[in-house]
Structure 1
Amino acid sequence: MATSGNPIRRIAISTGGGDAPGLNAVIRAAVVSALNRGWECVGIRDGYDGVLTPERFPEGGLIPLTADRVRGITHLGGTILGTTNKNSPLAFPTPQPDGSVVPVDRTAELAERIGENVDALIAIGGDGSMEIAHALSRHGLRVVGVPKTIDNDLDGTVLTFGFLTAVAFATECLDRLHSTAEAHDRVMVVEVMGRYAGWIAMSAGIAATADAILIPEIPFDLTSVARKIAERDRIGRRFSIVVVAEGAYPKGGEHSLVPGEPGRIERLGGIGEKVAEGLRATTGKDVRTVVLGHLLRGGTPVPMDRLLALRFGAAAVRTLAENHCGVMVALDPPEVKYVPLDVATRRMKAVPLDCDTIQTGRDMGISFGD
């Protein structure tokens, strides 16, 4: 682990990437823990935009984080600092004299600018944010990462905060869809977030006793799903619930992508409707699609996500106080420990195909499309 013996008097906190329930809880725990050690705290607006493009913020790109500023925010969704999944300092879009825009690595400049204002940084985010944190650490900035993503796909930690809230909401939605699907003898195809990992789809689908669950780790064959629906019809269960992770894809096929915003790459999306179209053709049933999308990101964090977020925020400050840097705090039950940032960003954490949860679903007769 990298260490630094310089005393800490002032720290910065940033939140990057997609929002997730629990971000404000991390901020509160980190700020209160730091203030109790006599440190000052500032927050960086919108990821690192508050440092790289401070002119965007008339009130300033850095926000003083006082006890009053973080009071009463533990239960709030979103982030009081703002966040962004654009303008990565690893490839910052930079206008050129000829009018073109090219990506430029500005992490060295960013590390220098942050270092002029504070002694250390707590970077809260997912895999992209942890890669940025690792780069800033290599440029000499004292950094501790806090893992955040509803997708639960960050390696090195058993859980990321935000995941349990997303699963709880998705499960509630699936519960509600059971009754309307049964009333109309319909097949409901429900698309959920998760990027290239199937943690949300698998967990919510099994918790809500879905009939089929399609995840990126298991390329699917719609014939298998149609067979499951037909089996249910034969026993008088004339409705079905099919959960589809946004990164799921058919055997021999590709991920479903939709056009991104101007200047951005395509993003995952649309697989739910493609599955629905295929099932309409193969089953002849009334098939409807529900895309939960960003509903999974919003709202109040469930108690366990709040607790994990508070533990992570306090642990990040303890880690700095113990003179460690270049690490990410991580849940290793029952403890919160830390792992090197390069280890945390080495690979995506996919659903293990031999895990007990998958086996539970198979034992219950749930189809995974294989």
Structure 2
Amino acid sequence: MRQRLLVLCGLMLAALWLAACGNAAPPSAATTPPQATPTRGWTLTPYATPSPTATPTPLPSPTLPAAAHPSPTPWVYTVAKGDTLLGIALRFGVSLKALEEANPGVDPQAMAVGTRLIIPVNAENPAGLPTPTPLPMAVGAPFCEPAADGGAVCLVEVHNPGPQAVEAVAAWLTLPNGQATTAEALLNLLPKDSSTVLVARFTQAPPQPRAAVRLLRALAVPTKAQAQRYPPLKVQNLHTAIASNKRAVQVSGSLRLQKNTAVQAVWVVAAAYDAEGHPVGVRRWEAPLPFPPGKPQPFAFTVYSIGPPIARVVVHAEAHALLPTPTP
């Protein structure tokens, strides 16, 4: 009996042990504590490798056209009373044939006063183009002022340092907009160690015109030819009166031919300058004909400034001899 009780107790203990094992909580898994996600104070931007691009092929530089040089301006002579084609040819030292070839539309037998003739420089130049290399002159910077009509007036002083006189002085003026024209002297002759003012007018110009200048023509005059063409003319009793506003000057005086020579033209030119020496005005006065030799003839005219105030005036006079008509 006792043995049965021991077996029963053993069975009960075994049952209790098994029950305890079945109800035991399973072991908790090892939990990794949550990791704090780091907070950045900036945003990472992936480095952007630039995509390779084709090296641009440089465009060829444009070829600028060479500066266009002006066609030389012919030397033009205006026929006066008593002129003949042969006389003009002899006066300017060209052959009659060359003069006729340069002026095919002129009838020598019906050449009216005022006819404009092209004077060829030499026998090999019947078109009347001047020498491409003028005698060296001192050319000042053009002084330009706008005109009321949208154009501009430019004045250029040219000085002849010598050693001989020149005539038919001209220059070529060019504006930045490409417009170009010829500046002409108001006197034919420019003696050595003397100055003259050339005049040019542009029909269209910027508000502040600035022109480039190149000497175009300055033809040498032999001493003998100078004495024949330009008889000595004396200016007497010269008087200049600058207006109170300094924008005009009155020029007056008298002229007297120093030789008993018949003339076809007598001119007086007055050039006005500002305080800095720029030419600011110029005008030519022409004497009425006939002009009696040896007798003083009065003149009076006004020169106006193209802009700045006038500070001084320079006056020159010139007579053109009436050469006898040679016999063919």
Give the TM-score range, shorter chain: under 0.3
TM-score normalised by structure 2 residue count: 0.25
> Which of the pair is proportionally richer in strand?
2
Could you say which structure has the larger radius of gyration?
2
Q: Which has the higher relative contact order, 1 or 2, with Cα contacts under 8 A spaced 6 or more apart?
A: 1
